[in-house]
Amino acid sequence: MFFRMYTRPMVVLISIFYLFFHIASCDKKNDLEAESGKKTETAKDDGQEEEEDNNESEPEQEDPDQEETPDQQEEEDPNFNYDAFRVDKGFHVPFSLGETPAPYGYYLFFPESYKKLKNTYPLLVFLHGWDERGDSKTNKSELGKVLKHGPGKLINKKSWSPKEEMLVVSAQTPNQWNSEDVKKLIDYLVKTYRVDKKRVYLTGLSMGGHGTFDYLGKYGAESGIAAAVPICGWGDPANSTYVKNVSKVPIWMFHGEADRQIAVSRALAMAEALYNVESKIRPKLTLYPNVGHDSWTITYDGSGRDKENPDYDVFDQDIYSWMLQYRLP
C-alpha cells in the first residue's frame, strides 16, 4: 500500500517531465528548420541578384536579321516618280514647255539621293547657245537639243562627277534669252524643288554666256545667284550700272583667243570694266590660245586645264568646285 501511494505521483511527475522535454525538443527543431529555410532563401535571393547583375552587365545582342522599323528607315518622297528617266548617279527628266508653269522647257537632273526626303541641294542653271534653241511645246523632241553641250551632255555621258551633289537644269528658249524670264525660271525652280536658296549658280555658252551677263547686269545682288561662269559670251561694258550689277556676283569668264564669232576683245573689254569696279571678289578671266568659239567643251569637262594663257587667270580647279565655294549671305 505504501508502494502504491508513492508510485502514482512519481509516474505523473515523470510523465509531465517527459512531455515538457518533448515540447522543448520540437520547438528547437522547428527553430532550426526555420533558420535553415531563411538561409536557403537568402542564398537563393543572392543568386538571383547576382544573375540579374550579370544580365545587366552584358549588352543586349541585336538580331542581325531584324528589319529596321519604319521610323528608322529614311522616308522616300511619295511624289518622286521618275524611275523611267534613270541615268548614271541619278535621274535626268525632261519637262517640256507648257508642262509646268515655268517660262521655259528644261531638263532637270536629280541626284540619286533626292528620292529621300532629307537635304536641300545646290542648283546649277545652264543657258545654251544659238543652235540649241527650240520650242518643246510644239515638238517635245526639240528639248533634247539642250543636252548637246554643257553639264547635260556630261550627265548623259556618265562623266558628271562634281565634288558635291547638285540639281542641274538645262533650260531651252525658242529665241534669245530674256532676263525677266530667266528670273521667273529660277524663282519657280527654287519654289518647286528642294533647292538651297543660298547656293544657286548660273552658267552659259555663247548666246547663253551673253544671257548670263545680261541677267546679272539687270538684277545684280537681287539675282539670287551665288556665282556665275559665262563662256565665250559678251556683256555691255559701256553701261556703268550694268557693270556694277555684274560685279556684285563672283564671276569667272572663259574665252578662246582664236574665237571668230565672238571676238576675244569683247571678253577683255568686259573684264577690264569689272576690274575698274570695286567688288568683294575679284573677277576672273581665263583665255585659251589657239582655241576658237568652242571654248566651252574643255571648260565644262575640265580638259582645258594647263592649256590656258598664263598671262591671265589660271584654270587651277574645275568650275563646279569653284562655284560651290560661294553662297549667298
**Domain spans in the chain, listed from the N-terminal domain onward:** 1-53, 83-324
Q: What type of residue sits at position 238?
A: A
| Angle in degrees, CA 222, 101, 133, rounded to 5 | 80
The letter for the amino acid at 18 is Y
Nearest to 147, CA basis, from 171, 165, 125, 166: 171
Q: What pLDDT digit, counting tens, does each position of 229-260 carry?
A: 999 999 999 999 999 999 999 999 999 999 99
- What pLDDT digit, counting tens, does each position of 35-49 carry? 444 444 444 444 444
| Architecture of domain 83-324 in this structure | 3-Layer(aba) Sandwich (3.40)
H or E segment at 242? Answer: helix 240-246
Exposure string for 109-137, b = 16+ CB within 10 A, e = fewer: bbbeebbeeeeebbbbbbbbbeebbbbbe
Question: 14 or 258: which carries more pLDDT confidence?
Answer: 258
Grid cell, residue 176, equals 534669245
| Per-chain mean pLDDT for the chain | 85
